[in-house]
A and B are shown apart, each in its own frame.
Chain A
Amino acid sequence: MNTLRVLGGIVINSVERVGRAAMFLYEVLLGSWELLRRFYLVVQQVYAVGVLTLLIILVSGLFVGMVLGLQGYNTLVKFGSANSLGLLVALSLVRELGPVVTALLFAGRAGSALTAEIGLMKATEQLAGMEMMAVNPVTRVIAPRFLGGVIAMPLLTALFSAIGVMGGHLVGVGLLGVDAGAFWSQMQNGVDFHDDIMNGVIKSVVFGVVVTWISVFEGYDAVPTSEGVASATNRTVVYSSLAVLGLDFILTALTLGEV
């Protein structure tokens, strides 16, 4: 009976928290609308969450592309299809690895930083101070960070995929001797703008919204103590990663239409 009560409590708390997060998103979206007049606040956040995440994205993209090139070549060469390496690398990156790995890296680097920053602003009464200065912290602090994340994610994904293709080219063409013309032409012929590129873009936008939403909500909802901020940061990374992987399956199933 006690177990049932505890379980019920957990379910009620979770549902209540999801409801609070949804109300919060609504407030953030209203705040985002007001930011059209002060877009420089968003640009600052695109720099903070986007540009400052660039290094980890580019380095990871390069190595993921290089590994894809190596693994892909070893498999394709068995079937005499090594010339399709460019297509394999590009499709893997554009459709799957680009959006997913970028979102996971984004959650770990920028998402956790957003949560910690907002949580500490709450703990040090900066958000309360703004409220008392008649400034809505959701409009002034949260909405620019949310929009910054949503804008940065597709751009980072595009750069991840682009540098990944370069990595695949470096290994496939540069080291393993795949024909450069075949590498690029197979890619050009096989990658469809609507089915492949847009699929990746949609995923990256969805991941951008979800990861940034989780990050800013966890920060805003954090218990204003050092322990509270630490667990909020932890939750951001865990929830964001799970949400990205779960949504990736759903979005892939929806776009392929095979489930």
Chain B
Amino acid sequence: MNQPSHSTPDSDVLVDIRDIHFTYGDRPILKGITLPIRRGKVTAIMGGSGCGKTTLMNLIGGRIKPSRGTLTVDGESVPDLRTRELFELRKRMGMLFQTGALLTDLSVFENVAFPIREHTKLPESILRKVVLMKLETVGLRGARDLMPSELSGGMARRVALARAIALEPMMIMYDEPFTGLDPISKGVIAKLIRQLNQSLGITSIVVSHDVAETCMISDYAYLVGDGRIMGEGTPTEVQKSGSEHVRQFMDGLPDGPVPYQYPADDYVTDLTRSIA
């Protein structure tokens, strides 16, 4: 394990999550997660569907507040920020949603220009250059006039990525960036995540359950399950882990600590029960 202990504050840590609990109604989603994310690294948060990965992202982005615990981004306590301060912080964060979340009434160009128009007063000629540069980065400069409905899933996610880097953020959160994509598009997205991290020094948080692609691009990985951290380390360390929970997830085993069967009464009793 190449990460130091989580107990002391570290200026190298951009997102510091300590003992975070989150409850949705009566259902506990996160049960005391401690998870530091280092500057300039690609950190993967992996886990099965419904394990609380997206909840973690929403907590980091300040869209929801934790029931307990502390969460700081670049030294600022996110749950304590007022709306205006939170919006200022979000200008330095990018987020790539699973669906891309492109504005369907705007063209590709206008989608990428959207955050720039909202937050800066750049003259149109410079704005055009900036947008074309961002689109060139994701290889879609030629698609500038297309509407979101004309894009494939992979292209939509690349446009969303260009939009996410439009304001040159310090970090980007990727929510299931590989889900529903063909192998070529997966490869393109993986390459872009790595490339943006290396060329722009952007800290990246990749939330995903695609083991192969995520391990390929990440520097450090956390495995979340049942609202807790089940394993962590470099992708190689995680893949070699002896933990039963980690093994089940990494090897895609249908049964294990995460049971195949949803909790129910005894099968035979259930079948022979008379319908009153």
List the interface of chain A (C-beta within 8 A of B).
121, 124-126, 128-136, 140
- Identify which of A129, A134, A135, A140 contacts B97 (C-beta below 8 A): A129
> CA of A60 to CA of B101 in the docked complex: distance in angstroms?
38
Whether A126 contacts B104 in the complex (CB less than 8 A), given A132-B90, A134-B88, A134-B90, comes out as: yes
Give, as a whole number of angstroms, the nearest-CB distance from A185 to chain B.
50
Q: List 19 A-B contacts (CB under 8 A).
A: A121-B104, A124-B99, A124-B101, A124-B104, A125-B98, A126-B101, A126-B102, A126-B103, A128-B63, A129-B95, A132-B95, A133-B114, A133-B118, A133-B163, A134-B90, A134-B115, A134-B118, A135-B115, A140-B118
Known contacts A133-B118, A134-B91; 19 further A-B pairs (Cβ under 8 A):
A124-B99, A125-B98, A125-B99, A126-B104, A128-B101, A129-B101, A129-B103, A129-B160, A131-B90, A132-B61, A132-B63, A133-B163, A133-B167, A134-B87, A134-B88, A134-B90, A134-B118, A135-B118, A136-B87
Give, as a whole number of angstroms, the nearest-CB distance from B247 to chain A.
33
B residues 66-119 touching A (CB-CB < 8 Å): 87-88, 90-91, 93-95, 97-99, 101-104, 114-115, 118-119
- Size of chain B's interface in residues, with CB distance under 8 A? 23
Q: Closest residue to A44 on the B side, CB-wise?
A: B105
Q: Closest residue to A123 on the B side, CB-wise?
A: B99
Give, as a whole number of angstroms, the nearest-CB distance from B225 to chain A.
25
- Identify which of A131, A134, A135, A136 contacts B63 (C-beta below 8 A): A131
B residues less than 8 Å from A126 (CB atoms):
101-104
> CA of A133 to CA of B61 in the docked complex: distance in angstroms?
10
> CA of A116 to CA of B34 in the docked complex: distance in angstroms?
40
A residues less than 8 Å from B114 (CB atoms):
133, 135
B residues 103-137 touching A (CB-CB < 8 Å): 103-104, 114-115, 118-119
> CA of A235 to CA of B160 in the docked complex: distance in angstroms?
33
Give, as a whole number of angstroms, the nearest-CB distance from B170 to chain A.
13
> CA of A71 to CA of B66 in the docked complex: distance in angstroms?
66
A residues less than 8 Å from B90 (CB atoms):
131-134
B residues less than 8 Å from A128 (CB atoms):
63, 97, 101
B residues less than 8 Å from A131 (CB atoms):
61, 63, 90
Interface of A is mostly: helix
> CA of A128 to CA of B61 in the docked complex: distance in angstroms?
11
B residues less than 8 Å from A134 (CB atoms):
87-88, 90-91, 115, 118-119
B residues less than 8 Å from A124 (CB atoms):
99, 101, 104
Nearest 7 A/B pairs, CB to CB: A129-B101, A134-B90, A125-B101, A134-B87, A132-B95, A133-B115, A134-B91
Give, as a whole number of angstroms, the nearest-CB distance from B98 to chain A.
8
Q: Closest residue to B97 on the A side, CB-wise?
A: A125
Give, as a whole number of angstroms, the nearest-CB distance from A122 to chain B.
11
Q: Closest residue to B63 on the A side, CB-wise?
A: A131
Give, as a whole number of angstroms, the nearest-CB distance from A59 to chain B.
27
A residues less than 8 Å from B160 (CB atoms):
129
Q: Closest residue to B98 on the A side, CB-wise?
A: A125
Q: Closest residue to A135 on the B side, CB-wise?
A: B118
Among B88, B95, B160, residue most surrounded by chain A Cβ atoms (within 10 Å): B95
Give, as a whole number of angstroms, the nearest-CB distance from B120 to chain A.
12
B residues 212-262 touching A (CB-CB < 8 Å): none
A residues less than 8 Å from B119 (CB atoms):
134
> CA of A142 to CA of B102 in the docked complex: distance in angstroms?
17
Q: Closest residue to B119 on the A side, CB-wise?
A: A134
A residues less than 8 Å from B91 (CB atoms):
134
A residues less than 8 Å from B63 (CB atoms):
128, 131-132
B residues less than 8 Å from A130 (CB atoms):
103
Give, as a whole number of angstroms, the nearest-CB distance from A13 to chain B.
15
B residues 163-193 touching A (CB-CB < 8 Å): 163, 167
A residues less than 8 Å from B87 (CB atoms):
134, 136
A residues less than 8 Å from B103 (CB atoms):
126, 129-130
Give, as a whole number of angstroms, the nearest-CB distance from B59 to chain A.
13
B residues less than 8 Å from A121 (CB atoms):
104
> CA of A129 to CA of B160 in the docked complex: distance in angstroms?
10
- Identify which of A125, A129, A132, A140 contacts B93 (C-beta below 8 A): A132
A residues less than 8 Å from B95 (CB atoms):
129, 132
> CA of A129 to CA of B104 in the docked complex: distance in angstroms?
12
> CA of A110 to CA of B174 in the docked complex: distance in angstroms?
36
> CA of A136 to CA of B119 in the docked complex: distance in angstroms?
12
Give, as a whole number of angstroms, the nearest-CB distance from A210 to chain B.
26
